[in-house]
Amino acid sequence: MIKLGVNSVLFKDFDFATAARQIALCGYDGVEISAIKGMCEHLELDRWKEQAPELRAIVEENGLEFLSMEVASLDEERLTKAFEAGAEIGIPIINVGPGGKSGDDGDLQQSIETLYRLSKKAETYGVTLCVKAHVGNAIYNTPTTLRAMNEISSKAFGIDMDPSHIYRGNENPEEELARVIERVQHIHIRDCKGRTKGPGDIQNQACGRGDIDLFAYCKAMVDANYSGPVCLEVIGANQHTLADVSIVAAESYGYLNACLKSLGAREANLAQKG
């Protein structure tokens, strides 16, 4: 069964307890906790041991589970702390970006070598390191993703297949998913208007509002027997109200849950939380 979650970065203007409460009210199964330095640190890796009991309690109180953590950075010191925190708190997947620049073979090779080394370290903690193709970065489309897959053999390495980056990179994610699915361990999801560089306003990132064929993408997931987390990741400017961000989360849940239920990948009673 596919589990639905929200990256807490959507609620970056609010504390984690508020984020978790709203995510649960929207109907989600779990949360991806943001540990993105300079953007949203609901999990502060420099003091994760101090935070751990409170974070676990918040998730349990809201009937959620930790599906993943987003660190974004490839900094080894930060990721070592992320692996430690994930192992202790019970967060199985650590998500990062690839870094580097698109079209630079040296950057691509360096990214792959860094991801290989960090994946081997993740193995020792019993967590999985996932990377996604990212517009403008060294791994940015399906061919560069496949190269990383071919060169990184670690069992603790996975792909985080984000359809919005694939779409904005001038590929059709519903067609490309099958080519990488064997290593996909996590899916970030959101919509977008057009094939622009940025994801756009948060309202247009709500699933079903943009131009990506997300129903076809959901069908591709189900056809490939994907059963990992699908986490809404919406990035936007500061100073959105709690209502603004909760509407995006709720609307996206309704869309994704309906799509996946119609495809037999969600049980009907999961829509009735609380």
CATH number of the CATH domain containing 86: 3.20.20.150
- At residue 76, the pLDDT reads 97
Spatial separation of the C-alpha atoms in residues 134 and 121, rounded to whole Å: 23
The answer to whether residue 67 is domain-embedded is yes
| Residue-by-residue pLDDT tens, the chain, 274 positions | 899 999 999 999 999 999 999 999 999 999 999 999 999 999 999 999 999 999 999 999 999 999 999 999 999 999 999 999 999 999 999 999 999 999 999 999 999 999 999 999 999 999 999 999 999 999 999 999 999 999 999 999 999 999 999 999 999 999 999 999 999 999 999 999 999 878 889 999 999 999 999 999 999 999 999 999 999 999 986 789 999 999 999 999 999 999 999 999 998 654 444 4
Amino acid residing at 78: R
The answer to whether residue 48 is domain-embedded is yes
Which phi and psi angles does 230 have, rounded to 5°? -125, 110
Number of domains observed in the structure of the chain: 1
The answer to whether residue 273 is domain-embedded is no
The answer to whether residue 242 is domain-embedded is yes
- At residue 62, the pLDDT reads 98
pTM, whole model, 2 decimals? 0.95
The answer to whether residue 269 is domain-embedded is no
The answer to whether residue 36 is domain-embedded is yes
- Give the domain extent around 87: 3-263
The answer to whether residue 26 is domain-embedded is yes
- Positive or negative: CA dihedral 22, 134, 261, 60: negative
The answer to whether residue 270 is domain-embedded is no
